Structure 1
Amino acid sequence: MKGFTIVTPDENIREALTDKINNLTKPKGSLGTLEELALQIGMIQQTLSPTLQHPQNIIFAADHGIVDEGVSLSPKEVTWQQLSNFLHGGAGVNFLCRQHGFELKIVDAGVDYELPYEQGIINKKVRKGTRNYLHEAAMTEEEMERCIEYGAEAVRNCHAEGTNVISFGEMGIGNTSSSSMWMTCFTDIPLEACVGAGSGLNHAGIRHKYEVLKQALENYRGDGSTLDYIRYFGGLEMVMAIGAMLQAAELKMVILVDGFIMTNCILAASKLYPQVLAYAIFGHQGDETGHKLILDSMHAKPLLNLGLRLGEGTGAICSYPIVDSAVRMLNEMDNFAHASITKYF
């Protein structure tokens, strides 16, 4: 599999960053999370004056074989239909990208449909949807490795365009099921606590989804390694997101983490390269059952809690103004000495 060189940010600049933050014209700590974010971003960029440049949101899209078992309220054709909506600018992610100045890229990782690539969708289709992991692995090792590389390639292209802050979204009916499987495998949180309504299942539907996933877990005969769990239960779009996150961390980019699915993706990525978490800012706590549990297990502090459960990168993009405020605080606030104000903390 493609390797990455991800280093934890150099600690030598921490003291100077902390001193700059503490000497801004405010009581020490009075800007709370903004101060924490400023420190993290300054550490990532290794500068006392960080910048956010050309933010982009990449949506990876693919279908899931497990949908054949009735685990989703929505049929799989919604995947390609929603991609069409993205292209026409009518989805939730579109207005948020317009509002906050994000460029949107759409990558076909494995949609079971012939898509109109000439309209701007990036064709990286590995296969037309995953296999049904109730009966067999979702993908082969070779397919998993291609997904990792394609995800990394998408981020390298963004970086070459001047991007240093990036978010990821997904479109794939059935991917909350795959996320629930990764969650229980990587955290040991009981599967039942990991399974939620997805796109709107009722109580009976959630119970059926749980029973199917429970049987899939019982049927698993792999070696229990991180990579085996990733390929056996993952979605093609989710594995591409892992490759994208790891590449972003290698390139020292700020990663805005979206909801339940993307949180599971960075969890899986961190099982391969723990250092990736130093580059991650968790945008929000979503409304999908299990999201709070996985965030708590990772000791992650989400910026927002708006009851979102759309995916697409929407929660990450919503959080961007807060991240921007943290950087502006560091660059635009005066300090006590220059402003001739007595420190009042």
Structure 2
Amino acid sequence: MDLDALIAGTDLPQFDEAAAEAARARQAELTKPPGALGRLEELAIFMAGWQGTAQPRIERAQALVFAGNHGICAQGVNPFPQEVTAAMVANFEAGGAAINQLCAVAGADLSVIALDLDTPTADFTTGPAMSAGETRAAMAKGAEAVDPSASVLVLGEMGIGNSTISAALACACLGGEARDWIGRGTGSDDAGMALKADVVAKGVALHGTGTPLEILAALGGREQAAMAGAVLAARAARIPVLLDGYICTAAMLPLWRINPALLDHCLVSHRSREPGHIRILDAIGKPAILDMDMALGEGSGAALALPILRAALACHNGMATFAEAGIGG
């Protein structure tokens, strides 16, 4: 897959307006008042445009969780040790995490991809977190993990310290003060919040003026780069994507900075309690499907939104039209 061509927008697959219009016409014929199903109708039309059919379906939902470790943890920005990342990957693989239960309920096939956990990225307060080559390698791993036959992609991550990474990416890509983007993460107290803000400010001062991909390399992590690669691969295959919360959405900001249209096939699954996530959604103009006061990560919000998407298509495809129901007038 030519990631450079996708990033540049060369032959970028586009939303099928004719299929979307046919889906709108079907919605107008279903046995309900126009617009009565609200965003469920919008979601069905969205899926129609990306699947290129008036009656889209979810045959296979693929869930990918990418895991990485971060050199910035040397600054003490997280109350938990980095060994927790590998322990949680093992928990995912054993079926014991929230994402496992949510994927089982939602009917998604879950894969977990650990990215060089024994070799954390570099501390971005002293130098770039990753080289350009490391960033491209992580993006390629993310792209390779996507099943081109999937109907929808559920995207998530795991990585101790990556709420700090996300704040740095958001600050560099969208501006503002470091403190604007800091949240509690996995449980930072007030002193930890102040430390995170200081660390993010230092990182952005060092690395915040490069190209979007340079910013991703300098401030991001392997799991962020992998998620960006997965989103590009999904676009190439016309697969709609359910993004998770703060960490996942922040990972998309370098792509958004390159071209906002690179995220046209993405839905934001939920609005995290992390304050930075709300700011990102306002900036990129994407409303969340759910608001459940969640801040877990690991794709949990994206998996929880999948049944809503399935419900939207069930109504769209399964409801009778007025003519079929014999209702006139």
Structure 2 length normalisation: TM-score?
A: 0.94
Change (3 A) 1:223 1:268: closer
Partners in 1 of 2:206 and 2:176 — Cα distance?
18
Q: SS where residue 199 of structure 1 aligns?
A: coil
Please point out which of 207, 216, 219 is paired with 1:233.
219
Equivalent pair of 2:172/2:204 in contact (CA under 8 Å): no
SS in 2 for 1:283: strand
Q: Residue 20 of structure 1 is aligned with which of 22, 26, 37?
A: 26
2:15 equivalent in structure 1: 9
Query: Does the 8 Å CA contact 1:175/1:261 hold for their aligned counterparts?
Result: yes
Contact 2:3 2:232 in 1 (8 A): no
The equivalent residue for 2:167 is 180
Q: 2:129 aligned with 1:142, yes or no?
A: no
Q: Give me the TM-score of the superposition, normalised by structure 1.
A: 0.90
Runs of 4+ in 1 over 3 A off after TM superposition: none
Q: State yes or no: 1:304 paired with 2:290.
A: yes
How many residue pairs get aligned? The number is 323
SS in 2 for 1:290: helix
Return the letter of the residue paired with 1:296: D
Q: How much does 1:168 deviate?
A: 1.3
Matched, 1:69 2:75: yes
SS in structure 1 opposite 2:67? Answer: strand
Superposition pairs of residues 26-41 of structure 1, within 5 angstroms: 26-41=32-47
- Cα displacement (A) at 1:223: 5.0
Query: Which secondary structure state, in structure 2, belongs to the residue aligned with residue 197 of structure 1?
Result: coil
Shift of 1:8: 2.3
What's the offset of the Cα at 1:273?
A: 4.3
Coordinate RMSD, CA, aligned = 1.5
In the alignment, the residues of structure 1 paired with residue 178 and residue 327 of structure 2 have an alpha-carbon distance, to the nearest angstrom, of 56
- Report the equivalent of 1:193: 180
User: Which string of whole-angstrom CA distances, capped at 9 and with x for unpartnered residues, describes residues 69-90 of structure 1?
Assistant: 0111111111011111112111
Residue deviations 1:50-95 (CA, integer Å, cap 9, x gap): 0102212111111000000011111111101111111211111111
The CA deviation string for residues 276-297 of structure 1, in whole angstroms up to 9 with x for no partner, is: 3221111100111211111111
Percentage of pairs with the same residue: 33
C-alpha distance in 1 between matches for 2:264 and 2:201: 33
Whether the 8 Å CA contact 1:7–1:275 is kept in 2: the answer is no
Whole-angstrom CA distance in 1 between matches of 2:56 and 2:34 = 20
Measured after TM superposition, the shift of residue 275 of structure 1 is 2.6
Letter aligned with residue 35 of structure 2: G
Shift of 1:270: 2.6
> Are residues 1:88 and 2:57 paired?
no
Closer, same or farther in 2 for the Cα pair 1:12/1:48, shift >3 Å? closer
Do the aligned partners of 1:8 and 1:275 also contact (CA within 8 Å) in 2? no
1:212 deviation in Å? 1.5
1:282 is aligned to 2:287? no
Aligned to 1:56: 62
SS state of the match for residue 28, structure 1? coil
Check conservation: 1:283, 1:304, Cα contact below 8 A. Answer: yes
Unaligned runs of 5+ in 2: none
Partner SS for 1:9: coil
CA distance in 2 between counterparts of 1:41 and 1:63 reads 34
Aligned twin of 1:170: 157
SS of residue paired to 2:275:
coil
